[in-house]
Amino acid sequence: MRNNPISATIDFDKEGIQHGFLRLPYSSDESAWGAIMIPITQFKNGDGPTALMTGGNHGDEYEGPVALFNFAGRPQIDDIQGRVIIIPAMNYPAFQQARRVSPIDRLNLNRIFPGRPDGSTTEVIADYFSRYLVPMSDYVLDIHSGGKTLDFVPFSASHILDDKHQQKLCEEAAKAFGAPYRVQMLEIDASGLYDTQVEESGKVFVTTELGGAGTTSPESVGIARRGVDNFLIHAGILKGELHLPETETVSLDMPDFRSYLFSEHNGLVEPCVSLGDSVREGQVMARIHNIERTAVPTCEYRAPRDGMVIARHVPSLAKIGDCLYVIGEVL
């Protein structure tokens, strides 16, 4: 297979703290022999497991980048045993322009794994993770939020896996992350996800949804920063005690696709429930108003199941096909 054109300006075998870039050649009108420079930091101190920590898989989600730019700036390494590789913004072209998908090839990094070494920029980034960074790692944390169009209650998540031992290790790591909520996630479509690529490589993998709406809050950033430390402490890489939330983590399941409520109309959303609310099956969650004329009866959107509202659509104008709500079953 063709070599991946990305080269790292750091040496993954070298001890100590290194700050550098993943350099992806990109020739454009603006820069003939230019490159996309994706920031990367590595801490390596002796033997031990490797943790790979990423944010900005989607470029409009910010808890991960804030927590990881913070962690990358720590001056000390004595309290680390093993290796930590930090990439605060995986899909860097998308992150630079505050977009979910890449402005260069319009691809969603989290839908095209394992990627291609001879593909477009986003496919090349995915391939570099699949063939180089993930195989080097034992523990992988990918920090997501809802982006501009979704907002979530803050949770860490793992998936149901064929390998039950691996599933248990992922669940324990997701619990150690220490978010107020923990979800066993059912994906709308698991193919092409970074998650699936990492899990099929046999790694301990945790993902998150820590907020959204294209911004952060002191609370959501605090959860991300504590979670990064907790994940590394759990992995045995960072010395210290876990900082768990004062109230016990609420565990949620998404047992089937009745967890998702999708819009079948275009129009103006009138929400009837908030994030974190409990709902009963059949309860009205939102009304959608026709915006072309007045006095058209609204369309009522009802809860497909009992549970808790864990995600909501952010823009008040909904389009047909939009995900309006996600409901988790409290365990």
The site for Zn ion (CB under 5 A) is made up of 58, 61, 144
Least Cβ distance, residue 156 to Zn ion (angstroms)? 14
Between 170 and 193, whose beta carbon lies closer to Zn ion? 193
Decide: helix, strand or coil at residue 199: helix
Give me the least distance between CB of 67 and Zn ion, in Å please. Answer: 14
Cβ within 8 Å of residue 31, ≥6 positions away: none
Query: Which C-beta is closer to Zn ion: that of 77 or that of 323?
Result: 323
How big is the chain by its Cα radius of gyration, in Å?
20
Which residues, listed in sequence order, are joined to residue 262 by a DSSP beta bridge? 323
Nearest distance from C-beta of residue 61 to Zn ion, angstroms: 5
Question: Contact 313/271 with Cβ under 8 angstroms?
Answer: no
- For residues 135-144, b (16+ Cβ closer than 10 Å) or e, as one string? eebbbbbbbb
Give the nearest distance from C-beta 290 to Zn ion in angstroms: 31
DSSP 55-71: --SSTT--HHHHHHHHH
First to last CA, the chain: 46
Q: Which is nearer to Zn ion, 109 or 309 (CB)?
A: 109
Tokens 């896996």, residue located: 161
Nearest approach, Cβ of residue 323 and Zn ion (Å): 13
* Angle CA 10–96–142, to nearest 5: 60
CA torsion angle 132 235 205 275 (round to 10): -130
Give whichever of 42 and 60 is closer to Zn ion, judged by the CB atom.
60
Q: Which is nearer to Zn ion, 50 or 57 (CB)?
A: 57
CB of 324 to Zn ion, least distance (A): 18
Kindly state the helix (H) or strand (E) to which residue 250 belongs, with its residue range. Answer: strand 250-253
CB of 157 to Zn ion, least distance (A): 11
Please state the closest distance from residue 216 (CB atom) to Zn ion, in A: 14
Name the residue nearer to Zn ion (CB basis): 62 or 231: 62
> What element of type H or E holds 43?
strand 35-45
Residues 49-85 as b/e (b if ≥16 CB within 10 A, e otherwise) read bbbbbbbbbbbbbbbbbbbbeebbeeeeeeebbbbbb
- The one-character DSSP state at 212 is B
